[in-house]
Amino acid sequence: MTRIHHLAGLALAAISALFLLAAPVAAQDEESMAPIKQIALDEARVARFADSFQQVSALFGEFDKEYEAGDADTVMDEVDYLAGNGEAVKAIEAKVKEAGFEGFEDWYDTAQSVMIARMWLTNPPSAEELDASEAEIQKMEGISDEEKQDLLASLAEARDQIETMKPTDENMAAVKPHLDKLEGVLGGTN
């Protein structure tokens, strides 16, 4: 790892929760910063997602030999990766239909909405962390002004995304009673 990558990683660590929330955006064009799609959740839908997750995640290793279970914050990264594999989507779709979802897309949208609400409830991004990251970037030595400006621009973009990614109060209320169960089935903690 280069010095710039190490310094940037340290400076941006304080906003890791925001970037974890933004993980589903990875599949989108980076130039397009459209809000992440979230659907309306209710407790029954959240419970169905939690109940279906173990069956779905059992397929992850079958279609991705590098998959390592146990990190709840990488679930959507894995689902996004498998969404590009037609065979995986077909297998996942069979499982989620058994659980009462219309298909892969319905389950995916639910997963994304649940994961965002979960993250917001357990480790929401804060203005103080963003301010601290900005101050850390400003103090960085050994990087060019251009590199510093790039980091500050990324941080500004992250600030702008916070409100567009915030789940509705109703979604957070639907997820909150299921946090313990979700942590158990997702295999990780914050």
Percent of the chain at pLDDT above 70? 78
pLDDT of amino acid 18 = 42
Q: What average pLDDT does the structure give for the chain? A: 81
Burial class (CB in 10 A: 0-12, 13-18, 19+), 151: buried
Instruction: Flag whether pLDDT at 189 surpasses 60.
Output: no
Give the C-alpha separation, 50 to 178, whole Å: 8
Instruction: Flag whether pLDDT at 21 surpasses 90.
Output: no
Instruction: Flag whether pLDDT at 178 surpasses 60.
Output: yes
- Which residue is associated with the tokens 């509705």? 168
Q: Name the DSSP letter for residue 16.
A: H
Q: In sequence order, which residues have a C-beta less than 8 Å from that of residue 75 and are 6 or more positions away?
A: 57, 111, 115, 186
What is the tens place of the pLDDT at every residue in 41-78? 999 999 999 999 989 988 998 888 877 776 677 788 88
User: Where along the chain do its domains lie?
Assistant: 3-27+37-186
pLDDT of amino acid 31 = 41
- Which residue is associated with the tokens 């994304």? 112
pLDDT of amino acid 99 = 93
